[in-house]
Amino acid sequence: MDCHHYDAFRCRSCTLLELPRARQLSDKELHARSLVDAPVWLPTVAGPEAGFRNKAKMAVGGSVEVPTLGILDRDLRGVDLRDCGLHSAGLTSALDRIAAWIAAAGLTPYDVATRTGELKHVLLTESPDGELMLRLVVRSTALEARIRSRLPALLEAVPALRVVTINVQPEHKAVLEGEREVVLTGKATLPMRLSTGVTLRLGPRSFFQTNTPVAEALYEQARAWVDGLPGVRAVWDLYCGVGGFALHLASPGREVLGVEVSADAVAAATATAAELDVAAEFVAADATAYALASRASPDLVVVNPPRRGIGTDLAGWLEGSATRHVVYSSCNAESLARDLAAMPSLRPVEARVLDMFPHTGHYEVLVLLER
């Protein structure tokens, strides 16, 4: 992928951009293999090398008249990256119109150096159907009335918008979003209609993989593994989010339980399960605390933790449980390796690298464990 921002040293986030894609993929697989001792490695899922991101996380800089959407340089000045080659065409087109609307509405960009201004970030997500969810991260509610009054103009300029919110992040620190979310549109969730046959409901604060084609491959692989195992009647999906793994694994004769700390994500997953008419239940709780408090052991557990991994407590519970299989989805093979060392009775039988984050050193690895 060619990038004029990279060549001009305006943005160097794609640290592997100068490496051929084949070399990127082989290096990631070698790294994963060095950490995970699986007897079978399925072919790496590559996905597209450009235009794959379904989410744009843009810092707002510049001036009211000429706002920038992108990153801040070392001098805390805005660098405009609206035409980033990683973004889908729908995101790129919408970002141009949103920037023009910001200028017309007179929304003052937040100046990190002087701690003045209001608009901090523009977070934009696109569904496979081309619908959009926009979150405007602001320092306070000072702009709320102005944004509301100019919302019709925004919806006219970007007709694909389904959800628009204001997120309030008052603190002066490197935190992307705050706790308060104000929904401005009648719809509060974005349907993510996947090629797998499942449509997830994505709320403003819900997690979903940034690479939709590779996420679909991730869910398909987990479903293929679980459907191929005998006697899997009870499944837990820990760190379930909006139910990505749980809803793909739900099937006749199988009961699925998803555990997720976000009540909004649990509500969205519950609504999707009802729409699909599948036996999937969702609980708002901490994944580790829920497992440690439970006396039951399901036949199979799915874990999809953040980069830190599942940790010693949950790994210890899995090691001592009667669960026969675990599907572990990891975005950090090093924390995965630490977790595997803490549950030696559960051994990898198959694994697969999925290039969720092309042109960077990051990737997803999915592992099937068997007791």
Cα-Cα-Cα-Cα dihedral sign, residues 236, 238, 241, 244: negative
Q: What angle, 0 to 180 degrees and rounded to 10, lies between the N-to-C axes of helices 21-35 and 333-341?
A: 20
User: CA 170 → CA 117, 122, 208, 298, distances in Å?
Assistant: 11, 15, 25, 43
Choose among 199, 248, 258: nearest CA to 221.
248
Length of the chain equals 371
Q: CB neighbours of 203 closer than 8 A, spacing ≥ 6?
A: 188, 189, 190, 242, 264, 265, 268
DSSP 248: H
Active site residue 331: yes
Tokens of 82: 């609206």
Give the other-Cβ count within 10 Å of 159's Cβ: 11
For the annotated catalytic residues, the residue numbers are: 331
